[in-house]
């Protein structure tokens, strides 16, 4: 069994992160497997160098030990680009030239735009462009991102499922999140693409993460099929909530592992808080 914890170095770890890390670590330990640490740091506008070490220190204080050297997504950008080109050759992605304002305006005009767990779907404006129109705009230097054409992707993959420890067998709905972004000009990949590539690279057998990412797994399973990658077993565990019933955020400094350490809490006490 191979599990992983993949935080973003954009802030200090809080109790929610600790729960996810301990969950994955304990599962690997109990099954004689390995546990990996991976930094999802593709959003270079938000990461801070000091948080890499801070995360490692907090995990070590909790007693969470990882195998090998943590990998960083920023060291793997050419690999994601290769995967993007493969998807492009399959004809299942397309360039989108719309700004956020243009997308919002189009959604308002539509009135009944398709929605998913994360809100209104991209209305598909650029999906209708011809190949020559796309190439002309790219050659002209127009800023664009790359989106997954879920209609064409679903046709290529056919029916799919994934196995989740809590939900059982889940039938994939490739359209659940709409035509998601797989790469941008400033960030040459996306969470969806990078996580699929990295899980396959590290041979992760069991992906453990919060229930809030269950919907994203429909996208990930689609990409796995398109790129001929293995499908791990999933564990979308419940989230740690604050006193108002909301998911913990990094801005909640009172519940960071660092703050709890400074208050004199022991690792055992923090683990008991999670329980």
Which position has the token pair 């604050």? Answer: 242
Q: How far is CA 153 from CA 136, 188, 224, in A?
A: 24, 21, 11
Q: How far is CA 204 from CA 167, 175, 210, 243, in A?
A: 20, 25, 16, 34
Residue 229 and residue 217: Cα distance in Å, rounded? 14
| DSSP letter (8 states) at residue 256 | B
| Residue 236 CB neighbours (<10 A) | 21
The alpha helices in the chain, defined as continuous H runs, are 15-30, 49-62, 77-90, 100-110, 131-139, 150-157, 191-201, 214-226, 257-262, 267-274
Provide the token pair at 110: 């539509």
Could you say which of 105, 185, 225, 250 is catalytic? Answer: 250
Assess whether 250 carries a catalytic annotation: yes
Active-site residues: which are they? 250
């Amino acid at each position: 069994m191979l599990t992983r914890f993949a935080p973003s170095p954009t802030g200090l770890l809080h109790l929610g992160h600790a729960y996810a890390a301990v969950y994955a670590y304990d599962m690997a330990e109990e099954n004689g497997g390995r546990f990996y640490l991976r930094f999802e740091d593709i959003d270079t506008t938000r990461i801070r160098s000091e948080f890499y070490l801070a995360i490692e220190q907090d995990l070590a204080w909790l007693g969470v030990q990882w195998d090998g050297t943590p990998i960083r997504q920023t060291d793997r950008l050419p690999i994601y680009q290769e995967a993007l080109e493969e998807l492009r050759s399959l004809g299942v992605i397309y360039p989108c030239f719309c700004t956020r304002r243009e997308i919002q305006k189009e959604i308002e005009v539509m009135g009944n735009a398709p929605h998913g767990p994360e809100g209104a779907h991209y209305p598909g404006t650029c999906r209708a462009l011809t190949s020559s129109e796309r190439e002309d705009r790219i050659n002209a230097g127009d800023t664009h991102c790359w989106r997954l054409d879920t209609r064409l992707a679903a046709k290529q993959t056919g029916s799919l499922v994934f196995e989740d420890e809590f939900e059982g067998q889940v039938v994939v709905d490739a359209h659940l999140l709409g035509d998601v972004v797989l790469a941008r000009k400033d960030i040459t990949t996306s969470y969806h693409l990078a996580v699929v590539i990295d899980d396959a690279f590290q041979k992760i057998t069991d992906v453990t993460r919060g229930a809030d990412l269950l919907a994203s797994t429909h996208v990930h399973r689609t990409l796995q099929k398109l790129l001929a990658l293995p499908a791990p077993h999933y564990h979308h565990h419940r989230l740690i909530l604050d006193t108002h019933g909301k998911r913990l955020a990094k801005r909640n400094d009172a519940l960071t592992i660092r703050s709890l350490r400074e208050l004199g809490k022991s690792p055992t006490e923090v683990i008991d808080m999670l329980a």
